[in-house]
Amino acid sequence: MLTSGAYAHFVAPFVEYAFMRRALAGSLLLAASACPVGVFMMLRRMSLAGDAMSHGILPGAALGYLLYGVQILPMMAGGLVAGLAVALASGVVARLTIQKEDASMAAFYLISLALGVLLVSLKGSSVDMMHVLFGTVLALDDEALAVIAAIAAVTLLAMRLCWRALVADCMDPLFLRSVSRLGTPVHFIFLCLTVVNLVGGFQALGTLLSVGLMMLPAAAARFWVSRADRMCVLAAAIGAASCTAGLLLSFHFALPSGPAVILCAGAVYLVSLLAGSRGILTSRIRMAATPTL
């Protein structure tokens, strides 16, 4: 049984306030879908590409804002189109030219970032810019929750159907393409899932922080387990715990909710880096305990 103090600190905010319940529901849905995607981003050595794609959605979201104001569906639809355009264009350039995918993605993301900032500045204020860049998870409404739930469902279903191909593409993409025609389609499906989840996190965490929920739990899970399936489950659990803790910190100490969530995930990453079963301290202790010949 929880004491009255524990109930007031950990349970009451979600029981008594509808905006906290919606924020928690949206955050948990994002953790369930975005964190497994982050695992595959990390295994593919595309962690920084996720950051590039998160900036790539900015011009579409800004265009939706210019046309319809702060409405979730137009902004997310615009962000989805822009993000997919950046991801697909960079993939096409990498396959048709001598340029690597990271370089082409960086070029397109810089163009998108500048265009997005320019579009927001045409009509918006500094408050609008902060909303687009950092999100407002405490302002999620039922419409936004429905969109995030749909993104989570599509992501988990697609990963279930393409699981073996996704794992093979991470381990040895050249081998997959030599024995199967699924290599290129799976790669583009994965890029689409990445963009869709970044768009889902856009309203809650903004374009700058949405990739944090995707990558930090995945990076932390890597220090505890080695199998991809266990890594995905653990990353989702770390993401869910980070979201819950960040929302509680935001509520009790009047902190910005998005940065609080990402900092909680960052704290778990640092602990995992040091004390995880494959972390720095554990590896040093294991090496010290191993007898030398």
Domain boundaries, the chain: 4-289
Query: How would residue 132 be classed by pLDDT, with cut points 50, 70 and 90?
Result: low
Least Cα distance to 152 among 279, 26, 246, 30 occurs for 30
Question: What is the model's pLDDT at position 237?
Answer: 97
Considering 161-170, 229-238, 274-283, the range whose residues carry the highest mean pLDDT is: 229-238
Whether the CA torsion 7, 8, 14, 15 is positive or negative: it is positive
User: In angstroms, rounded to a whole number, what is the distance separating the alpha carbons of residues 274 and 283?
Assistant: 9
Least Cα distance to 196 among 83, 45, 27 occurs for 83
For the cut 90, the answer to whether the pLDDT of residue 272 exceeds it is: yes
Please report where in the chains the tokens 């990390």 appear, as a residue.
42
Question: What is the model's pLDDT at position 182?
Answer: 75
List CB contacts of 48: < 8 A, sequence separation 6 or more.
102
pLDDT in tens, 23-70: 999 999 999 999 999 999 999 887 777 777 777 888 888 788 778 776
CB 206 within 8 A of CB 258: yes
User: In angstroms, rounded to a whole number, what is the distance separating the alpha carbons of residues 104 and 111?
Assistant: 11
pLDDT in tens, 68-117: 776 777 877 888 888 888 877 887 787 778 777 777 877 887 888 888 87
- Average of per-residue pLDDT across 142-160: 91
**Homologous superfamily (CATH) for 4-289:** ABC transporter involved in vitamin B12 uptake, BtuC (1.10.3470.10)
